[in-house]
Amino acid sequence: MKKSLLTIILLYAVYGLVLYFYLFFWTGYELPKGIEGTAADPKTFLTAEELQLSENYSQLKNLVFFISIPLEWIIFFIVLSFGISKTFQQWAETASRFFIVQTALYYFWLSLLVTLLTLPVSWLNYKLSKDFQISTQTLNSWLKDEVTDFLVNYVLMAVVVTFLYIIIRKFEKRWWLWAWFASIPFTLFIMFIQPVIIDPLYNDFYPLKNKKLEEEILQLASKADIPAEHVYEVDMSTKTNALNAYVTGIGSNSRIVLWDTTLNKLSEDEILFIMAHEMGHYVMKHIYIGIAGYLLLSLAGLYIIHRLMIFCTNRWGKRLNIQSIRELSSLPLFLLLLGMLSFASSPISGIVSRYQEKQADLYAIEMTKNEEAAVKTFQHLAKFSRSEINPPKIVKFLRYDHPPLIERIMYIENIKNKE
C-alpha cells in the first residue's frame, strides 16, 4: 500500500508539472485570425495591463482548479488505505448503537478531515482573487462563509449518506436504483428551498431598489409570458468586484437575481440584456432540462459506482480496509468514484450548458434588439471579472459552462453584419 501511495504521489507530481507547462508555456493566448480591431479583440476594450492581469489570473486559477480535482481523490484513497475510515466507523459505533447517530458521527469526522486538508486550496483561490482585485471580501468574512459551507453541506450530506446506507443495507443488489428514485424528490426539494433558505445564509436578498429599472424588467418579463412580480438584487459588492446574474429555484420559488456589482457597473441597456438572457433560460426551461439531464446521468452513474464498488471490494477490499459495501467505512470509496465519474461527465454537461447559454444570448438579442448592449456587456465582464477571453481548448472542454467571451462577442457581431 505504501508503494501504491508513493506511485500515486509521483503521478500527481508529474500531472502537476505537465499541467503547469501546458498552461504557462505550451498554450498561447493568440486570437483567431480576422478579429483584430473588431469588438471581439480585447485590445479594443482592455488596456495592456488589464489584458496581462486577465491572462495571469486565468492561468493561475486554471492551474489551481485542475490540481485540486485529483487531490480530493488522493485524500479518499489515503483515508481508506490507512484505515482512517475504519477508525471513524469504530468511533461512531462505540458512541451510539443507533445507525442514524453512527452515520452522523462518522460523516462529521470524515467531512471535517477532508475540509481541513483541502482548506489550503480554498484559501489559495481566495488569495488569488484578492491579489487580482476580484475579491473585496475580508478574511473574517471568507472564514465565515467557509464555516457556513461546511455546516450546510454537512447537514444536507449527512441526510443523504444516512438514507444511502439504509438503502444499501436493505437492497444491496439494487441499491443504486432505489437510491436514484429517492434522489428525485430530494433534488427537487433542494432546488425549491435554495433561493429562500440556503442562499440567504450567505448574502442579503431584497427586491430591486431601482423601481424604474424593475418596471422595465417586468415589462420584458410580461412580453416573455413570465409571471414575475419581483427582480431580486443581492449585496455581493462586500465580497467581489465581479459581475453576475442568474436564475435559481423551481416553481413558485424561481428567482431572477442581480448582483449589486452588476447594477453599479453596467448601464441600463446592458442590465436589460442580462435580464433578457436570464428570462431566456426560464422561457426555454433550461433549469428543468438541467434537472432532467442530471437525473439521467446520476442513474447511469449510480449503477457504474455500484459495479465498481463491488469490483474494488472483491479485489482490494483487504488493502482498502473494506469488507462490504454495506459498511460506513466504504463511503470514501463511493465519494472517490463519484468524483471521478462527475469529472469524466463534465465535458458532456459543459457542451449542453454552453449551447443553452448561446440560446439564451440569442433570445436576449431578439428580445431587446440591442446588439451593442450585448457586446458591451461581455466586454465589461472581461474587464471587471478578469474573465478569460480565449481559453485553451482543453480548459474550455473540461471547465467552461459558458461559451468563451470571444465566441459570444463574435456571434453577436455576425448577427449585426447580417442585418
Annotated binding site for Zn(2+): 277, 281, 357
Measured between alpha carbons, how far is 225 from 362 in angstroms, rounded to an integer? 18
DSSP 3-state of 329: helix
Q: Which of 199, 233, 260, 361 is catalytic?
A: 361
Q: Residues 31, 405: contact at Cβ < 8 Å?
A: no
**Phi and psi, residue 206, nearest 5°:** -155, 155
Measured between alpha carbons, how far is 185 from 172 in angstroms, rounded to an integer? 22
Measured between alpha carbons, how far is 40 from 33 in angstroms, rounded to an integer? 11
Q: Residues 330, 324: contact at Cβ < 8 Å?
A: yes
257 closest CA partner among 201, 188, 212, 196? 196
330 closest CA partner among 115, 163, 168, 158? 168
Establish whether 361 is a catalytic residue: yes
Establish whether 215 is a catalytic residue: no
**How far is residue 332 from each of residues 74, 96, 171, 335, 373, measured CA to CA in Å?**
10, 21, 20, 5, 48
Q: Which of 233, 278, 327, 407 is catalytic?
A: 278
Binding residues: 277, 281, 357
Q: Which residues are catalytic?
A: 278, 361
